[in-house]
């Protein structure tokens, strides 16, 4: 049987369940399930799998009953549904945390949780850079003191362990060598984690006004009135500049870790009758 704890997307779980059950239960079908769920249309669950419909709490519980899920599995299925259908990032974080708690005793690969943790703590990408530096002597306390703001040695140690689990670094004497990027995982989990990362880095940018000397930072802002075509041009230019800066950093001997944030977002609603021609 399909292990429900190996999924973070309930739609993918439903797809896998259908494929698996059809192997030994030839009577199982969308029509059969629709009858058991008292659904008016036989393809409703198919539309749910395709992301065209959502599940209500009632249907969530009914599916758990029909699938004969255990109490722990039923609770996890409900968490997956709530996570996928949550409207805000705070709701998603809440339900993902509950999913992680429910999976703690499971033997499934928890790469999604590791990736989520990597982006959800601002200092993990920083430590990934610092563990390769000559200033790092192998002691997590050294890393903790190097960060602005500083973190605890326990957090620095946990960060190193996380980077090793993700395969992003490997040991090299007292220091480490950077290896592959993050392993690809569930898109929705990844999107939430990246959103958390941008939010935390935005907070650090605000705090830098008081924490960092003016000659050690560069923060500017412009408010502009442009059209959609100009917006696309600016977005391309920002992306090109970001790639140019990354290339510059790869070919330079580093001394400090810096964060560069690019933000381009609307401050007004779209003007009426200004739809772009296709």
Task: Give the separation between CA 111 and CA 157, rounded to whole angstroms.
Answer: 19
Task: Give the separation between CA 109 and CA 57, rounded to whole angstroms.
Answer: 28
One digit per residue, the tens of pLDDT, for the chain of length 278 reads 788 988 888 999 999 999 999 999 989 999 999 999 999 999 999 999 999 999 999 999 999 999 999 999 999 999 999 999 998 888 988 888 888 888 776 655 555 677 778 877 889 989 988 888 888 888 999 989 999 999 999 999 999 999 998 888 998 877 788 886 544 455 666 677 777 788 888 888 888 988 889 899 998 889 888 999 999 999 999 989 988 888 888 776 778 889 888 888 888 887 665 544 43
- Choosing among 1.20.1250, 1.10.530, 1.10.3470, 1.10.260, the CATH entry for 4-105 is 1.10.260
Tokens of 153: 């040695």
DSSP letters along 7-54, please?
-S-HHHHHHHHHHHHHTT-TT--HHHHHHHTT-SSTTHHHHHHTTSS-
pLDDT (tens digit per residue) in 233-274: 999 999 899 888 888 887 767 788 898 888 888 888 876 655
Task: Give the separation between CA 265 and CA 24, rounded to whole angstroms.
Answer: 52
């Amino acid at each position: 049987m399909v292990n429900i704890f190996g999924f973070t997307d309930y739609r993918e779980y439903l797809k896998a369940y259908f494929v698996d059950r059809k192997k030994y239960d030839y009577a199982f079908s969308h029509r059969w399930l629709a009858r058991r769920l008292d659904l008016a249309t036989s393809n409703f669950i198919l539309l749910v799998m395709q992301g065209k419909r959502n599940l209500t709490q009632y249907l969530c519980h009914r599916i758990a009953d029909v699938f004969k899920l255990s109490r722990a599995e039923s609770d996890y299925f409900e968490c997956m549904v709530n996570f996928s259908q949550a409207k805000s990032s705070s709701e998603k974080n809440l339900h993902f945390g509950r999913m992680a708690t429910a999976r703690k005793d499971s033997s499934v690969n928890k790469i999604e949780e590791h990736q989520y943790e990597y982006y959800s703590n601002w200092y993990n990408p920083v430590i990934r850079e610092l563990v390769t530096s000559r200033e790092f002597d192998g002691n997590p306390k050294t890393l903790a003191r190097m960060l602005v703001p500083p973190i605890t040695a326990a957090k620095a140690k946990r960060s190193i362990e996380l980077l090793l689990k993700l395969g992003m670094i490997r040991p090299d004497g007292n220091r480490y060598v950077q290896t592959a990027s993050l392993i690809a995982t569930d898109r929705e989990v990844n999107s939430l984690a990246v959103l958390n990362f941008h939010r935390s880095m935005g907070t650090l940018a605000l705090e830098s006004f008081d924490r960092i000397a003016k000659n050690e930072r560069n923060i500017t802002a412009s408010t502009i009135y442009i059209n959609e075509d100009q917006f696309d041009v600016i977005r391309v230019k920002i992306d090109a500049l970001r790639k140019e800066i990354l290339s510059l950093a790869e070919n330079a001997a580093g001394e400090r870790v810096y964060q560069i944030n690019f933000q381009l977002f609307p401050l007004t609603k779209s003007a009426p009758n200004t739809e772009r021609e296709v």
